[in-house]
């Protein structure tokens, strides 16, 4: 029986008070249903955005995995130190999604390459550490300074971090690994043939690993700027479920 029907069968003297009670009950039910629907919509929206973030993370990780195969040596650098563009999509993804996503992309890339590794996973671990240091440091700075100058500062900080991480990874991971394959003297002799300044561990780190990763950070930063400008708005629109033609400022940080 509806509230109106209940009122019709009541004595006239009791109708006003009963009407007020029924009105409050109806209002409470309506508020509960509205609040319940609102919660469901929010949960559905969060789930959809989370799924889209995972999709974008996987997309950038796949791009980085493929680009890692396009490596090349640099002049005056040890021949086993090769630069590749795989850090570009990871840096772009970190700018858009944050540092955690950048670490996830770097991990996926390293894990996939682990199956074709020629270093028993040592090279992949070193690459993961170096790339993650770049992505995390740069994205944290860019999150606090979300401007063009902030992006330049972020890349500068990331370049410094990748250089430091590169020295650490070479000293404690790569050099010990290569030292088990061939004598260190032969390694430094091979490096010295392309860079006469390298003749021992310290000179290798100072004139080999350090400038190599600095150059790598600068190249990645320079190539990231034009690509990020074109991709970021489309990715942010996709994440926020906004129509491409809608004039809405989308921010995911």
Average the pLDDT over 204-220 and give the result: 95
Q: Does residue 11 sit in the same domain as residue 117?
A: no
Q: Does residue 35 sit in the same domain as residue 68?
A: no
pLDDT band at 20 (very low <50, low <70, confident <90, very high): low
- Is the pLDDT score of 250 beyond 80? no
Residue in 75, 79, 177, 200 with CA at minimum distance from that of residue 126: 177
DSSP codes, 134-189:
HHHHHHHHHHHS-SHHHHHHHHHHHHHHHHHHHHHHIIIIIHHHHHHHS-HHHHHH
Q: Does residue 110 sit in the same domain as residue 203?
A: yes
Is residue 245 in some structural domain? no
Q: Does residue 37 sit in the same domain as residue 61?
A: no
Q: Return the pLDDT at 226.
A: 87
Q: Does residue 26 sit in the same domain as residue 63?
A: no
Q: Return the pLDDT at 232.
A: 78
Residue in 158, 169, 170 with CA at minimum distance from that of residue 224: 158
- Give residue-wise pLDDT tens across range 121-149: 899 999 999 999 999 999 999 999 888 89
Range of the structural domain that residue 143 is part of: 45-240
Q: Return the pLDDT at 70.
A: 93
pLDDT band at 248 (very low <50, low <70, confident <90, very high): very low
Q: Does residue 101 sit in the same domain as residue 56?
A: yes
> Cβ of 202: how many Cβ atoms within 10 Å?
10
Q: Return the pLDDT at 33.
A: 55
- Give residue-wise pLDDT tens across range 82-115: 999 999 999 999 999 999 999 999 999 999 999 8
Q: Does residue 172 sit in the same domain as residue 212?
A: yes
Q: Return the pLDDT at 3.
A: 52
Q: Return the pLDDT at 6.
A: 54
Is residue 249 in some structural domain? no
Q: Return the pLDDT at 207.
A: 95
- Is the pLDDT score of 15 beyond 60? no
Q: Return the pLDDT at 244.
A: 42
Higher pLDDT pick, 245 / 5: 5
Taking CB atoms within 8 Å and a gap of at least 24, the contacts of 230-238 are 231/92, 232/92, 232/95, 232/96, 235/56, 235/96, 236/96, 238/52, 238/56
- Give residue-wise pLDDT tens across range 34-45: 555 566 656 666
Q: Does residue 18 sit in the same domain as residue 82?
A: no
Q: Is-contact 92 61, C-beta < 8 A? A: no
In the chain, how many domains are there? Answer: 2
Give this prediction's pTM.
0.77
Q: Does residue 154 sit in the same domain as residue 176?
A: yes
Q: Return the pLDDT at 245.
A: 41
Is residue 246 in some structural domain? no
Burial class (CB in 10 A: 0-12, 13-18, 19+), 84: middle
Q: Does residue 23 sit in the same domain as residue 111?
A: no
Instruction: Extract the tokens encoding 107.
Output: 């991990």
Q: Return the pLDDT at 42.
A: 61
């Amino acid at each position: 029986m509806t509230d109106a029907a209940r009122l019709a069968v009541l004595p006239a003297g009791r109708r006003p008070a009963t009407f007020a009670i029924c009105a409050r009950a109806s209002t409470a039910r309506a508020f509960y249903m509205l609040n319940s629907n609102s919660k469901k919509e929010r949960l559905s929206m969060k789930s959809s955005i989370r799924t889209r973030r995972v999709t974008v993370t996987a997309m950038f990780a796949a791009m980085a995995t493929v680009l890692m195969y396009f490596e090349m040596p640099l002049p005056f650098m040890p021949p086993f130190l090769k630069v590749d563009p795989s850090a570009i999509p990871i840096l772009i993804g970190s700018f858009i999604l944050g540092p955690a996503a950048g670490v996830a992309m770097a991990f996926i890339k390293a894990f996939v390459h682990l199956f074709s590794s020629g270093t028993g996973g040592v090279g992949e671990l070193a690459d993961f550490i170096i790339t993650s240091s770049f992505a995390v440091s740069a994205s944290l700075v860019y999150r606090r300074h979300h401007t063009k100058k902030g992006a330049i500062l972020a890349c500068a900080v990331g370049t410094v971090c990748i250089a430091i991480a590169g020295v650490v990874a070479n000293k404690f991971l790569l050099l010990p690994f290569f030292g088990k394959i061939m004598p260190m003297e032969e390694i430094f002799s091979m490096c010295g043939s392309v860079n006469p300044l390298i003749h021992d561990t310290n000179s290798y780190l100072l004139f080999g690993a350090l400038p190599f990763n600095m150059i790598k950070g600068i190249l990645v930063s320079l190539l990231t700027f034009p690509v990020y400008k074109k991709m970021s708005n489309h990715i942010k629109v996709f994440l926020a479920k906004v129509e491409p033609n809608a004039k809405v400022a989308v921010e995911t940080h």
